[in-house]
Amino acid sequence: VDKLPDVRIFVSNVKGSTAQHIEWTSNPTYPRGCDLRFKLTRYAEQLSTQRISQKFVTIQNATTENLLPETTYVYIATVYSQKLGFQYRKSISRKLRTNRVNTTITVKGVILGNGSVKIKWNKVQLGTNVQVRVINNKSEFIVKGTRISSRIENLTACTAYGLWIELMNGKTEINRLWLGNVTTKYPVLESPDGFTAEQLENRMGHRLQWFPVSTNLSLSCRLSYRVTRTTRIHNSTEEKHFTLDATELNLFDLKPNVRYFYKVQAVLNSVHYGRYSDSVRIDTPPKSFFYSHIHFVAFFYSTRNCANQLSRIYRAPPDKQVYLALTDDCCLSYRDIFHWSLIRNRDGDAAEMVSHIV
């Protein structure tokens, strides 16, 4: 044992962290033929049963990972000969208390992107690190950050996530902040293609149609559409909105001799609006009666002192278009009755059940 070299170790704290640095010295030095081995054992003074050992062929300096803050660690340096066996050894021990650690973490801002979240915080103590945890009911993302920021990618657009930021000392969590629920940004929505507006036949009404907007979105992104109608009557302008899930809309609340402008846009979750389509103009014709050909028995009753008249059923081809004619005494005069129908005026309101007159 006396022939083994003397070894010494010097332990110091790494500035700004809870890591420790170990430096070896050996005197005298021996040739390789002596087959010397070195061993370094470390444990926390209050946890002496939890020991970590490293073996070396030649002495070498080492720096630990971040250790428990404000904790005394014991180091045992051992030298022995591989030829003589481990029972022939020399050892020396040193101990040192680790630095205290700053557990404060201050968030400077959260920036939401389309499928991403970026978090910035004040610079943390050297040796500590920050990780961000993003959670919803289907997934969890854990990303290690730098000393000042972290960016989490590949999140689902327009989706709510719970956000945690954790200050780590090695693998040990020393502080955690709950940043609340955040929702990732919505994607850019293009305007719907193929938007058209046309006048309905035989009735005062407009039919609007367009192609669906194609998007790759999660179920949390509910897609709908909003039609905006601008009405111009003389010098006044009125705007009205219609929200729906379908790609077709029929409107009957129209007035004759009025100019209407229509445009449509996609909407996500009723809060995020896409780009508008080009505006389409359509003018309503003058007031007149529009009707649909529905055959049935009906009573006609004149409101101006004319006698009650019982209707008869007259059938005609459904493509016949005839108009109502009244005499001065409000009674019906006609040359040929085609059939009975439900009359609708240009405003879309149901008129009385009357016979068509030519």
Per residue in 217-229, pLDDT (tens digit) is 766 788 999 999 9
Q: Return the CATH fold of 107-183.
A: Immunoglobulin-like (2.60.40)
> What pLDDT does residue 259 have?
93
Are 282 and 236 in contact by the 8 Å Cβ rule? The answer is: no
Per residue in 165-216, pLDDT (tens digit) is 999 887 888 899 999 998 888 888 899 999 999 999 888 999 999 999 987 7
For the chain, how big is the Rg over CA atoms in Å? 43
The residues near 62 (Cβ < 8 Å, ≥ 6 apart) are 21, 22, 40, 54
> What pLDDT does residue 146 have?
75
- DSSP letters along 119-170, please? EEEPPPPTT-EEEEEEE-SS-EEEEE--SSEEEE-SPPTT-EEEEEEEEEET
Are 300 and 342 in contact by the 8 Å Cβ rule? The answer is: no
Nearest 5°: the CA angle 102, 106, 109 is: 155
For the whole model, what pTM was predicted? 0.49
Per residue in 269-281, pLDDT (tens digit) is 888 899 999 999 9
Burial 113-146 (b: 16+ CB within 10 A, else e): eebbbbbebeebbebbbbbbbbeeeeeeeeeebe
- The residue ranges of the chain whose pLDDT is under 50 are 289, 291-358
> What pLDDT does residue 29 have?
63
Residue 69 and residue 81: Cα distance in Å, rounded? 36
Residue 332 and residue 356: Cα distance in Å, rounded? 10
Domain ranges, ordered by start, for the chain? 6-97, 107-183, 196-283, 288-358
CA distances from 39 to 4, 13, 42, 238, 305 (A): 14, 20, 10, 87, 121
> What pLDDT does residue 86 have?
64
**DSSP bridge pairs for 275:** none
Q: Return the CATH fold of 196-283.
A: Immunoglobulin-like (2.60.40)
Are 313 and 299 in contact by the 8 Å Cβ rule? The answer is: no
Nearest to 34 by CA among 58, 67, 61: 58
DSSP structure class, residue 32: G
Tell whether domain 6-97 is in CATH 2.40.50.140.
no
Q: Say if 6-97 and 107-183 have the same CATH topology.
A: yes
Q: Which amino acid is at 138?
A: K
> What pLDDT does residue 21 have?
95
> What pLDDT does residue 33 have?
58
